Amino acid sequence: MPLLTIHHKTVYRYTRPVAFGEHRIMLRPRDGHDLRVLKSELVIDPQPMSLRWIHDVFGNSVAIATFDERADTLSFVSTATVQHDPAEKFALTPDDPAYFYPFLYDDEEFPDLQQFITPQYGDPNGELSAWALRFLDADAPTPTFNILSGMTHHIRESFRYRKRHEHGTQHPLDTLQTKSGTCRDYALFMIEALRRLGIAARFVSGYLAMPSDGAHGYVGGGSTHAWVQVYLPSAGWIEFDPTNGIVGTRDLIRVAVARDPRQAIPLHGVYLGAADAFVRMDVDIDVVSAATDAERETA
């Protein structure tokens, strides 16, 4: 039952004072039976004229800030302490309705899952579909877990992680053709492949904690991260991380879920000023065991 503290600081720097438009902040961890937020704080400098919290269409916590003063820096510091109880390793039994693929979703659930089953990106030549079909046994039916874990580990082992400076997430076909991308690219690629098999999948944005090799749990480090949730009858939403080959929620701290990555951007806003006024954005993230964090504060 580890207690973790997430420190997330983002600073925008400008050559001269600029005005700021509305900013949407999606950094508060998402509560659930496996993740409980014990404390959360958001500090913004300069202080916004107004700050209000809403739940978006998926139930994610979103802060909306508006400003009435100019500045040459804008900083957001989010601190949250959570109780993280990773679920035991996921497994289906032969009695589960989704043990073999293909399976059917319940008539009552299907209308709510349809948006997560319908592909969102084009595949004119069927390349994504062909890639997804590679994970089916020649002699059907195929154990569903073999498909999900097979995709997860294949991306982890066969694709090359690379940072991109372009905004947004690249098209799944670009990820397939280059066999490279970011965690957000990998997640979207796997989601679209699963949707072409009729399996409900959605995008998850959050944090990756970096465990130590010793007995001190999480001693620092970490990053923003993205992965996949898959919905299976009787099992519910199950997490798969194709970047790290993780099945389940070990080391993963959920912040937001969405149909598409564009709906789960951690921090988004605009400034009003000359185009060349923007210098850079600095991001610093630290995920640490709460006990270690307390020791730091008293040191």
Indicate whether 80 and 179 sit together in one domain.
no
The single-letter code of the amino acid at 139 is D
Name the residue range of residue 141's domain: 100-263
Evaluate whether residue 90 is within a structural domain.
Answer: no
pLDDT value of residue 170: 96
Tell if the pTM clears 0.85, that is, is over it.
yes
Helix or strand (DSSP H, E) at 116? helix 110-117
Indicate whether 231 and 274 sit together in one domain.
no
Beta-carbon neighbour count of residue 44 at 10 Å?
17
Indicate whether 79 and 137 sit together in one domain.
no
Mean pLDDT of 118-131: 98
Q: Contact, 262 vs 191, CB < 8 A?
A: no
The single-letter code of the amino acid at 95 is D
Residue 270 has pLDDT above 60, yes or no: yes
pLDDT band of 292, cuts 50, 70, 90: low
Indicate whether 111 and 238 sit together in one domain.
yes
Nearest residue to 70 (alpha-carbon basis) of 8, 15, 9: 15
Helix or strand (DSSP H, E) at 141? none
Evaluate whether residue 95 is within a structural domain.
Answer: no
pLDDT value of residue 139: 81
Q: Report strand pairing: 100-101 vs 50-55.
A: unpaired
CA distances from 3 to 149, 209, 217, 249 (A): 28, 12, 10, 14
CATH code for the domain in which residue 38 is found: 2.60.40.2250
Evaluate whether residue 32 is within a structural domain.
Answer: yes
Evaluate whether residue 182 is within a structural domain.
Answer: yes
Encode pLDDT of 195-254 as tens digits: 999 999 999 999 999 876 554 467 677 899 999 999 999 899 999 999 999 999 889 999
The single-letter code of the amino acid at 182 is T
pLDDT value of residue 71: 98
Indicate whether 182 and 245 sit together in one domain.
yes
Residues in the chain: 299
Whole-angstrom Cα distance, residue 67 to residue 230?
39
Provide the domain count of the chain.
2
Nearest residue to 266 (alpha-carbon basis) of 62, 124, 86: 62
Encode pLDDT of 180-190 as tens digits: 999 999 999 99
Encode pLDDT of 27-84 as tens digits: 999 999 999 999 999 999 999 999 999 999 999 999 999 999 999 999 999 999 999 9
Mean pLDDT of 142-158: 96
CATH code for the domain in which residue 171 is found: 3.10.620.30
Phi-psi sector, 221: left (phi>0), alpha (psi -120 to 50), beta: left
Encode pLDDT of 83-118 as tens digits: 999 876 777 888 899 999 999 999 999 999 999 999
Q: Contact, 206 vs 229, CB < 8 A?
A: no
Evaluate whether residue 93 is within a structural domain.
Answer: no
Indicate whether 7 and 24 sit together in one domain.
yes
Indicate whether 18 and 106 sit together in one domain.
no
pLDDT band of 285, cuts 50, 70, 90: very high
